[in-house]
Amino acid sequence: MQELLSTKLHDETRQGETFSMDTIDLNLPLKNFYIESYGCAMNFADSEVVASILHKEGFGSVKEPALADLILINTCSIREKAEDTVRKRLTEFRKFKKTNPGLIVGVLGCMAERLKGTFIEQEKLVDIVVGPDAYRSLPGLIEEAYTGQKGVNVLLSREETYADISPIRLNSNGVTAFVSIMRGCNNMCSFCVVPFTRGRERSRDALSIVQECEALFNEGYREVTLLGQNVDSYNFIVTRYKTKDIVQKTVTFANLLEMVALISPELRVRFSTSHPKDITDEVLFTIQKYENICNYIHLPVQSGSSRILQLMNRTYSREWYLAKVDRIRELIPDCGISTDMITGFCTETEEDHQASLSLFDYCKYDLAYLYYYSERPGTLAERRFEDDVPLDIKKRRLQELVDLYREHSLRTMQKEVGKTFKILVEGFSKKSEEQLQGRTDQNKVVIIAKDNFKKGDYVYVKITHCTAGTLFGEVIN
Ligand code: SAM
Ligand code: SF4
Ligand code: F3S
């Protein structure tokens, strides 16, 4: 599942790169950092901003924690399990401190924001704690840590978007990249810790987003995913000064999508996540208008029961959500739709659960991220409601959803056999270097024989067979 994925990140772009002397703080020796990221795509994108900040300070990246002078762990608080994984990993880092007493260990991200200074008291091994809006202060905190002082900066900001920092692509395939377009969230879903760990919503300068996407395209990237917790509420005011007049123009998410799509028809544009209450017809018409904006929408529903949706403070009902799905399919008939769903939220009955199953039956999602409810300290739900669904029932309901989803996905994939899709090749398949892997517009993975194709190529593929998760095909270019 997406948030439980952990990836050891490393920086391949550093090899052969030259540094301008004026960007290196000569007081700091060239040191190595290792960064490990957990959580959502936004956290992975943040690690790339952190890598860029550290590079400017003369740090080089390594692939193994054993080789590092600085170990950073970019954490997630979304569920208890995600936090447990981080604690376990920190325990494993203890051994490196024994062999390298000068080693600095830093905790970044949402768990740093949630637990603040208590982290340093509880986890003796941790030297610095830095929240998602405070990464610019990392060099100073690291320098202090080398002198033996522990440091915490978890100030949340109303303005920080790191718009001027060019992320260093970590673990990149050179074809697809994430681009953050906003930070924070104002929605206050009752189960969710994100508004507390990421702060108020703010949109990044539209021109800096377009410039970053253009630069990626010029470097050979062929797909960008625009990231935000709620991309449809993107709103940036561009101010221009014309002689004595000030001209202001609001850039909506639909405008931004169009600006990025216009960079080149060869650049695919994806985005995530859409809140069902905010996605507009204007966005759907923009997707319709540009062939390079992928026909794929991640539209988390969370529950199929209107009563539970109200307790979750999602601000839409089951009927409203289904009408939105119908509208998407009316305007973009072949649109892939994916979702997130939580089982066992406070007071959820069997009847509510059946409503979630029947919603699944109706929507026939192309992809679903399914979780059981995990109470998070400080959230509205923790303060207002009792976490009263026993764990075994939460898990049983989750399993029923997983089973239904598997049944649907095999059938959905089987319907694609015989059809032709344009796919963007992303690299070798996980199983063999004789095969390549790419994605359809609707985000489905397709495997083809390698032949003379390479990553970054667009190819037309006729689907010959499938499993529940993967399509296999032959190129018909
Ligand atoms: N902003 C997105 C939205 O509005 O749907 C989702 C953001 S959240 C990082 C990703 C998913 O984690 C949510 O859609 C939800 O399904 C799940 N999630 C969040 N809090 C949770 C909790 N306390 N227990 C279980 N799952 C949770
Ligand atoms: Fe959390 Fe809701 Fe914001 Fe998504 S929209 S990040 S679920 S509060
Ligand atoms: Fe986790 Fe924070 Fe993302 S809580 S899901 S890393 S915004």
What is the number of other CB atoms lying within 10 angstroms of the CB of residue 18?
Answer: 5
Domain 420-475: which CATH number of 3.40.190.10, 2.60.40.10, 2.40.50.140, 3.90.740.10: 2.40.50.140
Q: How far apart are CA 155 and CA 130, in angstroms?
A: 9
Residue 20 pLDDT > 80 = no
CATH number of 158-294: 3.30.750.210
Q: Where are the domains of the chain?
A: 17-153, 158-294, 324-416, 420-475
Confidence of residue 120 (pLDDT cuts 50, 70, 90): confident
Q: Is 376 in the pocket of ligand 1 (CB under 6 A)?
A: yes
Q: How far apart are CA 141 and CA 281, in angstroms?
A: 46
Peptide bond into 273 cis (omega under 30): yes
pLDDT digits (tens, 9 = 90+) for 317-366: 999 999 999 999 999 999 999 999 999 999 999 999 999 999 999 999 99
Ligand 1 nearest atom to the CA of residue 229, by list position = 1
The three-class DSSP label of residue 448 is strand
Q: For residue 10, report the phi and psi dihedrals to the nearest 5 degrees.
A: -145, 165
pLDDT digits (tens, 9 = 90+) for 277-318: 999 999 999 999 999 999 999 999 999 999 999 999 999 999
Give me the residues paired with residue 178 across strands: 225
pLDDT digits (tens, 9 = 90+) for 189-221: 999 999 999 999 999 999 999 999 999 999 999
**What is the average pLDDT score of the chain?**
92
Residue 173 pLDDT > 50 = yes
Confidence of residue 17 (pLDDT cuts 50, 70, 90): very low
Q: Is 47 in the pocket of ligand 3 (CB under 6 A)?
A: no
Return the pLDDT at 224. 98
Q: How far apart are CA 418 and CA 474, in angstroms?
A: 10
Q: How far apart are CA 23 and CA 3, in angstroms?
A: 34
Residue 363 CA to ligand 3 center (angstroms) comes to 26
pLDDT digits (tens, 9 = 90+) for 448-459: 999 999 999 999
Same fold, 324-416 and 420-475: no
Return the pLDDT at 30. 66
For ligand 3, atom 7, name the residue with the nearest CA.
194
Q: Is 229 in the pocket of ligand 1 (CB under 6 A)?
A: yes
Is 8 or 60 the better-scoring residue by pLDDT?
60
Residue 39 CA to ligand 2 center (angstroms) comes to 14
Residue 416 pLDDT > 50 = yes
Residue 28 CA to ligand 3 center (angstroms) comes to 32
CATH number of 17-153: 3.40.50.12160
pLDDT digits (tens, 9 = 90+) for 68-94: 999 999 999 999 999 999 999 999 998
Residue 187 pLDDT > 90 = yes
Task: Give the ranges where 178-252 is alpha helix by DSSP (H).
Answer: 194-198, 206-218
Indicate the angle between helix axes 350-363 and 318-331, nearest 10 degrees.
Answer: 10
pLDDT digits (tens, 9 = 90+) for 218-261: 999 999 999 999 999 999 998 888 777 888 899 999 999 999 99
pTM listed for this prediction? 0.93
Residue 13 pLDDT > 50 = no
Q: Is 203 in the pocket of ligand 3 (CB under 6 A)?
A: no
Residue 113 pLDDT > 70 = yes
Q: Is 437 in the pocket of ligand 3 (CB under 6 A)?
A: no
CA quadruple 235, 241, 246, 247: dihedral, nearest 10: -50
Give me the residues paired with residue 35 across strands: 9, 72
Place of tokens 């006729």: 462
CATH number of 324-416: 3.30.750.200
Which residue from 1, 37, 42, 81 has its CB within 8 A of the most atoms of ligand 3, so it is best to mutate? 42
Q: What's the whole-number mean pLDDT along residues 20-42?
A: 71
Residue 11 pLDDT > 80 = no
For ligand 2, atom 4, name the residue with the nearest CA.
229
Q: Identify which ligand lies nearest to the alpha carbon of 114.
A: 3
Return the pLDDT at 440. 97
Confidence of residue 15 (pLDDT cuts 50, 70, 90): very low
CA angle at residue 289 from 227 to 203, to 5 degrees? Answer: 25
Which residue from 78, 115, 183, 369 has its CB within 8 A of the most atoms of ligand 3, so it is best to mutate? 78
Q: Is 40 in the pocket of ligand 1 (CB under 6 A)?
A: yes
List the single range of 8-22, 104-118, 284-298 with lowest mean pLDDT. 8-22
Query: Are the C-beta atoms of 152 and 129 separated by less than 8 Å?
Result: yes
Residue 3 CA to ligand 3 center (angstroms) comes to 8
> What are the structure tokens assigned to 90, written together?
């920190």
Which residue from 191, 202, 230 has its CB within 8 A of the most atoms of ligand 2, so it is best to mutate? 230
Q: How far apart are CA 342 and CA 301, in angstroms?
A: 9
Residue 18 pLDDT > 60 = no
Q: How far apart are CA 72 and CA 70, in angstroms?
A: 6
Place of tokens 């004789």: 434
Query: Are the C-beta atoms of 385 and 404 separated by less than 8 Å?
Result: no
Residue 32 CA to ligand 2 center (angstroms) comes to 35
Q: How far apart are CA 279 and CA 337, in angstroms?
A: 13
Q: Is 229 in the pocket of ligand 2 (CB under 6 A)?
A: yes
Of 40, 436, 270, the closest CA to residue 470 belongs to: 436
Query: Are the C-beta atoms of 105 and 71 separated by less than 8 Å?
Result: yes
Query: Are the C-beta atoms of 229 and 198 separated by less than 8 Å?
Result: yes
